[in-house]
Chains A and B, each alone.
Chain A
Amino acid sequence: MGYKRYIVKRLIYIIPLFLGISILNFSLMHSAGDPIRLMTLGNPSPNIGEVRENLRIYYGLDQPIYVQYGIWLWRFLQLDLGTSFYSGRTVNTIIGMYAWETIKLQMVALILALAIGIPIGIYSARKQYSKLDITITSSAIMGISIPIFYMGIIFILIFSFYLGWFPSFGAHSLQELRYPFGSYFLDELWHLVLPTVAIAWVSMALYIRLVRSSMLEILRQDYILAARASGLSERTIIFKHALRNATIPLITYIGISIGLLLSGAPMTETVFTWPGLGYLYVNSVTQLDFPVIMGINMIITLIILGVNLITDLLYGIIDPRIRYE
């Protein structure tokens, strides 16, 4: 079977996965409470029952759940995620407003974590059991033990409250006057520093451990010995021969960690009051805003499925030993 057929097979395979996850989410969400009751809470109207009934019909919540799901799916296929119960705006608009902030934050953090984590991991593997290696591995295990939200709080305390270097909340300054040097871009960067460093700090620890252990295994193999024997420079051996094989587990892990970070966005974004999908998600769940909950969850599921697909396809490019059968 060729590469193209493999791609088609994977794409088809995504469909039942997506349907399964969306059905699970839809039915769970609908047992999370009655949004109509929440909306009319404390309403003194004497004919409250009638009001509720009308609202239920208005939002389409009076139909059986499988009909509601069918309608949702039909609209989803036409790229329409419905309308928020509360703000009255379409979910597409709302997600469009918030998604960029989340993607920006996670992308910068991921790049930072990889740019620092990979070299440290390689160094640590080359100097195994040296003092620096032991320091690195013990700080890495410290790193994976810190919850991201706690790291964020510590950063805010030190760098925002006591030193006053960075802002403690939001993605932009509220007034244009407060932009550093009057530049919008610099203001964005200024707000990005603390949250990205907090996220990168924790995920970097995982990358260091991963790169170190796979490099250690690779450096012991015969082909590295052969490369050394043929007099190649250390730089060529590490970066051209060893690192290429170490990228395979790395890519798998990057794929997994994008999913984990996106799904953990509620925690990070709550700490930094970051106007992203995670922050929006927590608010929507407390308000029982069904279309928004469903929209965010499905967008993130689609991103994760897409990342998984890309990971699978990258294997074939990086590792010629893999055959698609």
Chain B
Amino acid sequence: MSKDHTKKEMTKKAVKTSKPISQWGIAWKRFKKNKAALAGLFIEGIILFMAIFGPFIAPYPPNDISAFMEGRTREAPSWDHLMGTDYTGHDVFSQIIYGAAPALQVGVGAAVFSMVIAVLVGSIAGYYGGKIDTILMRFSEVFLVMPAFLFLIVLLKVAMTITVAGFGLGLTILVLGILGWAGDSRAIRAEFLKLKEYEFVTAAKCLGASNRRIIFKHILPNVLHLIIVLITSSIAINVILEAGLSFLGFSDPNIITWGRMIAYSLEAIRGAWWQGVFPGLAIVVTVLGFNILGDGLRDALDPRLRE
């Protein structure tokens, strides 16, 4: 971290308000200057709005096939149907709005779930070291090496077999989370290995703090910036993976997802491109938003990593 810069900012602030400014405050100031990152935040805001208020802002209800009754299936975009209609007369624009919630739920859910595993494994391995470290890292290597996407397909096939009525999003989140933690756990372990040698940890030990307290109360807050950055990029990856899985048909057929919309559009994409192109754009915009947000957060929270 560039100390001079921070100091200058701190003195400037101190003159104005004479209130101490926290690390997070400094990070937020840096983040605000980054226009691309703000754009990412804005995009995700819109997607989140779509996900929460979807039923209120979508022009047509999810199962509305009135266009089908009028014989207006696969109709080109018009004022009635901003992004056209699909093969059973659903309004593509409304369907995209309904698809925002599952995409965000799976993306965020899986990222958070895999991060919980990654933090547990990474912190224990990094803090205790020795045999525990070796065993846990060998274990994580299995997950790093195996062809994850092939396993995802088999796992979701299992889910489709054991649940009759459709398995919802929970299982997709679970499966993506279980298969996605290994890389992040290594990053967290490396940070713990470094931090446990610092003076504040020795001090805490001298005061008789328990290992659990040192891990979660003393070291973990110092890794928080890394966790936030990792989660953001992991959301982007999980949104893409979820789209791919539902594109291949390995998702709950009762839930409208962008990947599934693209899959359905394929049979007639030559004539009716709007069925597939618009849902795909929704995926690209969402993932792009998380990616630039992640880059911005990295620059703001950990300036050492700035390119």
- Which residues in B have their C-beta under 8 angstroms from that of A144? 291
Mark B44-71 against chain A: 1 for CB-CB distance below 8 A, else 0.
0000000000000000000000000000
Mark A269-298 against chain B: 1 for CB-CB distance below 8 A, else 0.
010000000000110011010000100110
Mark B255-271 against chain A: 1 for CB-CB distance below 8 A, else 0.
00000001000100110
**Is B118 an interface residue when CB atoms closer than 8 A count as contact?**
no
A28 touches B155 (CB 8 A): yes
CA distance A31 to B161 in the complex (A): 8
Q: Which of B12-20, B21-29, B80-88, B140-148 contacts A (4 or more CB under 8 A)?
A: B140-148
Q: In chain B, residues 120-158, which have Cβ atoms closer than 8 Å to a Cβ of chain A?
A: 138, 141-142, 145-151, 153-155, 157-158
CA distance A300 to B157 in the complex (A): 19
B145 touches A305 (CB 8 A): yes
CA distance A161 to B273 in the complex (A): 11
The main secondary structure of chain A at its interface with chain B is helix
A157 touches B273 (CB 8 A): yes
B145 touches A308 (CB 8 A): yes
**Is A318 an interface residue when CB atoms closer than 8 A count as contact?**
no
- Which residues in B have their C-beta under 8 angstroms from that of A259? 145, 147
Q: Which of B165-173, B200-208, B212-220, B240-248 contacts A (4 or more CB under 8 A)?
A: B240-248
How big is chain B's contact interface, by range? 35 or more
- Which residues in A have their C-beta under 8 angstroms from that of B240? 147
- Which residues in B have their C-beta under 8 angstroms from that of A157? 269-270, 273, 277
**Is A238 an interface residue when CB atoms closer than 8 A count as contact?**
no
- The answer to whether residues A17 and B150 also contact, given A150-B284, A157-B269, A267-B247 and a CB cut-off of 8 A, is no
How big is chain A's contact interface, by range? 35 or more
B262 touches A150 (CB 8 A): yes
- Which residues in A have their C-beta under 8 angstroms from that of B146? 21, 24-25, 301, 304
- Which residues in B have their C-beta under 8 angstroms from that of A150? 243, 262, 280, 283-284
- The answer to whether residues A147 and B147 also contact, given A32-B154, A141-B292 and a CB cut-off of 8 A, is no
**Is B276 an interface residue when CB atoms closer than 8 A count as contact?**
yes
- The answer to whether residues A282 and B153 also contact, given A32-B158, A145-B284, A157-B273 and a CB cut-off of 8 A, is yes
Closest to A142 in B: B288
Q: Out of A28, A154, A161, which one reaches B154, CB within 8 Å? A: A28
**Is B297 an interface residue when CB atoms closer than 8 A count as contact?**
no
- Which residues in A have their C-beta under 8 angstroms from that of B295? 141
How far apart are B229's CB and chain A's nearest CB, in angstroms?
14
Q: Out of B145, B243, B249, which one reaches A21, CB within 8 Å? A: B145
Q: In chain A, residues 1-45, which have Cβ atoms closer than 8 Å to a Cβ of chain B?
A: 16-17, 20-21, 24-25, 28-29, 31-33
CA distance A201 to B307 in the complex (A): 23
CA distance A187 to B307 in the complex (A): 44
A301 touches B145 (CB 8 A): yes
- The answer to whether residues A17 and B141 also contact, given A144-B291, A212-B307, A267-B247 and a CB cut-off of 8 A, is yes
Q: Out of B154, B161, B273, B307, which one reaches A293, CB within 8 Å? A: B154
CA distance A260 to B149 in the complex (A): 8
CA distance A43 to B153 in the complex (A): 28
- The answer to whether residues A285 and B157 also contact, given A25-B151, A157-B273, A305-B145 and a CB cut-off of 8 A, is yes
- Which residues in A have their C-beta under 8 angstroms from that of B108? none
Closest to B286 in A: A145
**Is A146 an interface residue when CB atoms closer than 8 A count as contact?**
yes
Tell me the B residues contacting A by CB distance below 8 Å. 36, 138, 141-142, 145-151, 153-155, 157-158, 161-162, 236, 240, 243-244, 247-249, 262, 266, 269-270, 273, 276-277, 280, 283-284, 287-288, 291-292, 295, 307
**A to B CB contacts below 8 Å, 7 in the list:** A17-B145, A21-B146, A32-B158, A138-B36, A147-B287, A153-B262, A153-B280
